[in-house]
């Protein structure tokens, strides 16, 4: 006894095609178990799984002939496969693998598909979420576990330069979230301390220490103390000029605006300084900032910080405290950062994204983004380009 019919139709799309096929099937009244349709450049692919349980062979033959006749009239190719096995239940534990690149090389995609198959997974569905400024695809994968899939895909990402993320779908992926961002070399293209150092004439010595600290070669707190000491005597007015010099990362404004539009919370957590970051946060409408503070005496920097030092553990704590304050569970938090001092917050967040990160950070985060546009992070969160444009017309990767 036939239990299911799988109808696969392809060819040139035109208005009314799907309706004609469904009309051809209507007299049989077979329940539709699954249906997927996609049109790429005017070419239609339609797949439909119908339950024929309890029906006679005559019923199945009549439906099959009716669909063949309709598709013949429409000039479409059609295959119908009858299966005597009961329809297998959908795997409930689906994963979403997002693949992103500019361009997206077929070899990278084929390695991703190979890795999914090697882990016992099946790609049930592929959906394009963006064509510009990157090509971003969502692969809906069943039959494998997130823990099994992540390490292999991370290796492909670093080998091929394709950006990849693996997430569980459902409420943890949709719904309100807290997105916590690092500032230096993440939200902005600069390292603030180096911009201040330029006003003290010691940019090179500060930059050398920063580079080693961000690569994880130096303890951040000690390196901060060392670098801030070099800023002694810088007039406090220089900080306002530094704020003006800061260059936002392309896509930063769009990212923040879209997240706010969708009702997400955004926080900045930085090893830099409130004095420079607060005006940037205010301009972006970000109300939550955790950073270091520069001590000032007689209108000049003393070369010391005041208050608690926001270092690697401090950033992790800040993420947890903002989440608690906003009543958002940690699995609905996203952290974005590039440096070694971001590793704690990247690890604690539900999704840790290494953004154009140092190698040490790239290998330890859940996912890495290597395209230079911050708004591409939205694609990893499953927010398609159309929704971004609705929130922020014309601004995608603008600033
Ligand atoms: Mg940074």
Cα-to-centroid distance, 338 and ligand 1 (Å): 5
pLDDT at position 399 is 46
If asked whether residues 101 and 30 sit together in one domain, one would say no
Average pLDDT, integer, range 324-353: 94
pLDDT bin (cut points 50, 70, 90) of residue 398 is very low
Q: What is the mean pLDDT of residues 42-68?
A: 92
What is the pLDDT at residue 170? 63
Number of H helices, E strands in the chain: 15, 15
For residues 116 and 141, give the distance between their C-alpha atoms in angstroms, rounded to a whole number. 8
Is there a domain that residue 398 lies in? no
Report yes or no on 90 lying in a domain: no
Same-domain pairing of 221 and 337: yes
Q: Where among 34, 61, 83 does a domain terminate?
A: 83
Please provide residue 9's backbone torsions phi and psi, each rounded to the nearest 5 degrees: -125, 140
For the stretch 174-232, pLDDT in tens is: 667 999 999 999 999 999 999 999 988 888 888 888 888 888 888 888 899 999 999 99
**Residue 372 or 321, more confident:** 321
Q: What is the pLDDT of residues 11-33, one digit of tens each?
A: 999 888 888 998 999 998 999 88
Active site residues: 182, 184
190 and 152 in one domain? no
**Residue 272 in domain:** yes
Residues 106 and 199 in one domain: no
More confident residue, 35 or 392: 35
* Share above pLDDT 90 across residues of the chain, in percent, rounded to a whole number: 55
Torsion of CA 92, 170, 160, 119, to 10 degrees: -20
State whether 46 and 100 are in the same domain. no
Threshold 0.75, pTM exceeds:
yes
296 Cα to the center of ligand 1, angstroms: 24
Could you tell me if residue 396 is inside a domain? no
Please report whether residue 133 resides in a domain: yes
Could you tell me which residues are beta bridge partners of residue 83?
4
Give the mean model confidence (pLDDT) for residues 296-311.
95
The answer to whether residue 328 scores a pLDDT higher than 90 is yes
Domain containing residue 23: CATH number? 3.30.70.260
Average pLDDT score, the chain: 89
Domain holding 40, by residue range, is 4-83
**Residue 193 alpha carbon to ligand 1 centre in Å:** 11
First CA to last CA across the chain, in angstroms? 61
Q: How far is the CA of 8 from the centre of ligand 1 (A)?
A: 50
- Cα of 121 to ligand 1 centre, how many Å? 35
Domain holding 208: CATH number? 3.40.50.1000
Sheet-wide strand order for 32-40: 32-40, 43-51, 4-12, 77-83
Last residue of one domain, picked from the residues 115, 145, 167: 167
Q: Give CA–CA dist 129/334, Å, rounded.
A: 19
CA of 152 to the centre of ligand 1 (A): 26
314 domain residue, yes or no: yes
Q: What is the pLDDT of residue 77?
A: 94
| 351 and 247 share one domain | yes
- Residue 235 structure tokens: 């007039």
- Structure confidence by residue, pLDDT tens digits, 156-176: 877 787 888 888 776 556 667
Looking at the structure, do residues 386 and 314 belong to the same domain, yes or no? yes
For residues 73 and 109, state if they share a domain: no
Ligand 1 center to residue 210 CA distance, Å?
Answer: 10
Whether residues 161 and 186 share a domain: the answer is no
| Residue 102 within any structural domain of the chain | yes
Q: Are residues 124 and 199 in the same domain?
A: no
Say yes or no: 232 and 370 in one domain: yes
Residues 6+ apart with CB under 8 A from 100: 130, 134, 135, 136, 137, 162, 163, 164, 369, 371, 376, 379, 380
| Residue 162 covered by a domain | yes
Same domain membership, residue 133 and residue 237: no
> How many domains, in total, are found in the chain?
3
Last-in-domain residue among 167, 194, 228: 167
């Amino acid at each position: 006894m036939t239990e299911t019919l799988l109808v696969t139709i392809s060819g040139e799309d035109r208005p009314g095609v799907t309706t004609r096929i469904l009309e051809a099937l209507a007299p049989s009244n077979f329940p539709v178990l699954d249906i997927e349709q996609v049109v790429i450049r005017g070419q239609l692919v339609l797949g439909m799984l119908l339950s024929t349980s309890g029906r006679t062979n005559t019923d199945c033959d009549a439906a099959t002939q009716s669909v063949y006749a309709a598709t013949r009239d429409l000039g479409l190719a059609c295959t119908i496969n009858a299966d005597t096995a009961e329809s297998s239940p959908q795997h409930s534990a689906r994963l979403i693998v997002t693949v992103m690149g500019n361009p997206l090389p077929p070899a990278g995609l084929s390695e991703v598909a190979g890795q999914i198959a090697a882990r016992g997974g099946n790609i049930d569905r592929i959906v394009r979420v963006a064509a510009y400024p990157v090509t971003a695809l969502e692969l809906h994968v069943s039959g494998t576990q997130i823990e099994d899939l992540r390490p292999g895909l991370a290796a492909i990402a670093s080998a091929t330069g394709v950006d990849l993320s693996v997430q569980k779908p459902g409420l943890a992926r949709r719904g309100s979230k807290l997105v916590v961002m690092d500032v230096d070399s993440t939200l902005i293209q600069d390292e603030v301390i180096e911009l201040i150092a330029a006003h003290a004439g010691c940019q090179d010595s500060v930059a050398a220490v920063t580079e080693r600290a961000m690569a994880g070669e130096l303890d951040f707190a000690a390196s901060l103390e060392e670098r801030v000491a070099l800023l002694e005597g810088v007039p406090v007015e220089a900080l306002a000029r530094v704020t003006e010099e800061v260059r936002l990362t392309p896509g930063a404004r769009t990212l923040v605006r879209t997240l706010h539009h969708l009702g997400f919370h955004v926080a900045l957590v930085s090893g830099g300084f409130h004095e420079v970051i607060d005006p940037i946060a205010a301009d972006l409408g970000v109300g939550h900032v955790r950073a270091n503070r520069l001590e000032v005496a007689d209108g000049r920097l003393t070369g010391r910080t005041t208050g608690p030092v926001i270092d690697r553990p401090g950033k992790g704590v800040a993420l947890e405290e903002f989440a608690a304050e906003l009543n958002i569970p940690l699995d609905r938090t996203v952290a974005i950062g590039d440096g070694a001092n971001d590793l704690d917050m990247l690890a604690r967040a539900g999704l840790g994204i290494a953004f154009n990160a140092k190698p040490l950070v790239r290998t330890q985060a859940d996912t890495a983004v290597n395209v230079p546009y911050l708004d591409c992070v939205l694609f990893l969160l499953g927010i398609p380009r159309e929704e971004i444009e609705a929130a922020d017309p014309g601004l995608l990767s603008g600033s």
